[in-house]
């Protein structure tokens, strides 16, 4: 039986919420195992999109004919979020507690290879682990624990966009089609055999947060559809090895990438704004000029929503002036193209539309700073 000494970083302060009368606590796995033959699953995830996957699994596990139960949840440790940087549980942990999941069975290791955590995981004897945007590398000694392996929901059509930022890099590339894959996890990053995938066509306005939500929602459906074959072992024989010659990488995004250079074509910048929406966002520096005094100030803008300017081409290098047209700020860009900025944000201020920002200039002129070196 799992002793209290094996529980890693429990949410003790939140235990009361997990055991409230309105949401009864789920009994620990060792006790449930005495009365059920259901397969024991461990779920690993951290952000809000992972919480939606967990919700789908919890709902499916409560069905009378369910083949599985959620024996434990693994997520990132509490982190400082919102104003005041108060330590808060991850969205997955909070969702689990809100659903009445036992706080004793929510694990938050800093690294998935910690021996104290692995000891607790082995004590649970899980048949299967499921990951969805967990955000932590799984070492070989972890992968050896579940008897039926580990499967992952990955928001791309593997072997395309392996890595930490598949949705963001796909949008940055301007793809018209993407998708979600359910694949076995191996030591090499996102390289395991693919059990199933589903294609999704996207338009040129969808942003990363919306696409992430869409793909993980679809991924939940694919996973639950495939779980019977995963749990009876037949999925291993039908899973397809990935074609390594087609593999592409989706490296982690850095804050330094968030600057926009108006020397690039408008479509490149528009795709970047969509890709980096949410985090880290996209930024540009402009010069605000008072025509009466000649004074100018450099202002940093966070660019929220854009589209490619559809009117006649603007000659590249013709002017650095930013003009206002039909509710948009228009920036000339490379290759004779132009970018319309529809929503933007000043540091410490709320997001506003272009008209409100333009009116706030009160006759001052706006000039773009073209290159990244200006930032």
DSSP string, 308-362: E--SSPPPTTS--B-EEETTEEEEE-GGG-EEEEEEEE-TTS--EEHHHHHHHHT
Residue 26 and residue 35 in contact, taking contact as beta carbons nearer than 8 Å: no
Task: Give the start-end residues of each E strand in 105-212.
Answer: 106-107, 128-132, 150-154, 177-184, 194-201
User: Which of 124, 80, 344, 129 lies closest to 230 in space, CA to CA?
Assistant: 129
- Tell whether the torsion through CA atoms of 189, 94, 10 and 129 is positive or negative: negative
Residue 275 and residue 172 in contact, taking contact as beta carbons nearer than 8 Å: yes
> How far apart, in whole angstroms, are the C-alpha atoms of residue 340 and residue 311?
11
What's the pLDDT at 371? 53
Other beta carbons less than 10 A from residue 83's beta carbon? 5
The first and second tokens of residue 168, run together, are: 């963001």
Task: Give the start-end residues of each E strand in the chain.
Answer: 39-45, 68-74, 79-81, 86-88, 106-107, 128-132, 150-154, 177-184, 194-201, 282-289, 296-308, 323-325, 328-332, 338-345, 352-353, 365-368
What's the pLDDT at 319? 76
CA distance readout (Å), 10 to 101, 133, 274: 12, 21, 37
User: Which of 194, 204, 207 lies closest to 156 in space, CA to CA?
Assistant: 194
User: Which of 226, 98, 93, 210 lies closest to 153 in space, CA to CA?
Assistant: 226
What's the pLDDT at 16? 34
CA distance readout (Å), 265 to 25, 237, 272, 285, 306: 55, 47, 11, 17, 13
Residue 372 and residue 268 in contact, taking contact as beta carbons nearer than 8 Å: no
Across-strand partners of 74?
Answer: 44, 107
- Report helix, strand and coil shares of the chain as percent, to nearest 5: 35, 25, 40
Q: What are phi and psi of 68, to 5 degrees?
A: -145, 165
What's the pLDDT at 211? 98
User: Which of 211, 217, 173, 181 lies closest to 197 in space, CA to CA?
Assistant: 181
What's the pLDDT at 15? 36
The first and second tokens of residue 350, run together, are: 């709320």
CA distance readout (Å), 188 to 185, 192, 227: 8, 8, 23
DSSP label at residue 120: H
Residue 185 and residue 150 in contact, taking contact as beta carbons nearer than 8 Å: yes
What's the pLDDT at 52? 95
> How far apart, in whole angstroms, are the C-alpha atoms of residue 154 and residue 48?
15
Residues (pLDDT < 70) of the chain are 1-36, 81-84, 312-318, 370-375
- Tell whether the torsion through CA atoms of 259, 265, 269 and 271 is positive or negative: negative
């Amino acid at each position: 039986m799992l002793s209290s000494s094996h529980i890693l970083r429990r949410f003790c302060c939140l235990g009361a919420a997990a055991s409230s009368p309105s949401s009864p606590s789920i009994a620990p796995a060792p006790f449930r195992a005495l009365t059920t033959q259901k397969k024991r699953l461990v779920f690993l995830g951290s952000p809000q999109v992972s919480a939606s996957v967990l919700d789908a699994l919890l709902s499916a596990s409560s069905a009378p004919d369910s083949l599985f139960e959620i024996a434990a949840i693994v997520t990132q440790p509490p982190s400082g979020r919102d104003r005041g940087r108060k330590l808060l549980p991850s969205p997955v942990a909070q969702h689990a507690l809100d659903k009445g999941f036992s706080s004793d069975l929510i694990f938050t290791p800093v690294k998935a290879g910690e021996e104290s955590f692995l000891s607790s995981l082995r004590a649970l004897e899980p048949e299967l682990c499921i990951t969805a945007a967990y955000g932590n590398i799984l070492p070989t000694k972890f992968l050896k624990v579940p008897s039926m392996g580990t499967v992952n929901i990955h928001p791309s059509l593997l072997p395309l966009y392996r890595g930490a930022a598949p949705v963001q890099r796909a949008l940055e590339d301007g793809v018209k089609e993407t998708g979600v894959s359910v694949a076995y996890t191996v030591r090499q990053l996102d390289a395991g055999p693919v059990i199933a995938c589903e294609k999704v066509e996207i338009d040129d306005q969808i942003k990363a947060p919306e696409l992430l939500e869409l793909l993980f929602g679809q991924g939940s459906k694919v996973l639950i559809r495939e779980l019977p074959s995963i749990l009876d072992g037949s999925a291993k024989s039908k899973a397809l090895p990935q074609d390594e010659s087609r593999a592409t990488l989706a490296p982690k995004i850095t804050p330094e990438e968030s600057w926009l250079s108006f020397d690039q074509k408008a479509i490149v910048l528009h795709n970047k704004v969509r890709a980096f929406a949410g985090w880290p966002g996209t930024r540009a520096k402009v010069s605000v000029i008072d025509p009466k005094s000649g004074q100018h100030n450099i202002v940093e803008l966070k660019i929220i929503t854009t589209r490619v300017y559809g009117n006649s081409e603007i000659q590249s290098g013709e002017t650095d002036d930013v003009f206002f047209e039909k509710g948009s700020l228009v920036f000339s860009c490379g290759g004779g193209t132009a970018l319309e900025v529809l929503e933007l944000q000043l540091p410490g201020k709320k997001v506003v539309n272009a008209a409100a920002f333009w009116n706030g200039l009160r006759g001052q002129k706006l000039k773009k700073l073209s290159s990244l070196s200006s930032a």
